Amino acid sequence: MGTELDKALSLEIDNFSERTNVMKSVIFSSGGCNWFLCVCAGDHLSMYLQDVNTHRLRSGWKRRVSFCFVLLNQSGKELFRSPDEGRRRLFCAETPSWGFGRTLPLTKLQEKGFLEKNKLTIEVYMKVFEVVHQGKSTENDVLDYNGFNIIASQ
């Protein structure tokens, strides 16, 4: 039996087929961290989960997370569930977001019965297993503060 994930977000997108821009969810909390969902609609639906505070965290930060995206139509019918639901992903400075670049072709979503009243709901289920806010500080750590590089120990 896999890891049980908790529902962290339900994002409803009205007039979905008319959307061409990048959409970001409201900020939501899970596992003591703040997150947002980024949704892109091109020829395929793309979805990415990202920690909100990546630019504020010190070198060595990380989050180990399992997550799953579920697409629902207006009636609550499940249209898609992301693969590798129980797989733990490492979010860190080198990989600040995880997701799926080519979830479903938009033509598939627009087929009869998939989108009712042009509304799509995306649910995010997740479990945070590990949170490290910062690595060990050294005297040589440099931070960017409003475009200026300063030594972190100052």
Report how many domains make up the chain. 1
The verdict on residue 1 lying in a domain is no
Q: How confident is the model at residue 148 (pLDDT cuts 50, 70, 90)?
A: low
- Tens-place pLDDT, residues 70-84: 998 778 888 888 887
The domain that holds 46 is classified in CATH as 2.60.210.10
CB atoms within 10 A of CB 46: 17
CB atoms within 10 A of CB 85: 15
Cβ atoms of residues 104 and 44 within 8 Å: yes
87: amino acid identity, one letter:
R
The verdict on residue 24 lying in a domain is yes
- The token pair at 136 is 């060990």
Determine the 3-state secondary structure of 61 from DSSP.
Answer: coil
- Tens-place pLDDT, residues 56-71: 777 788 899 999 999 9
Pair type for strands 142-145 and 78-81: unpaired
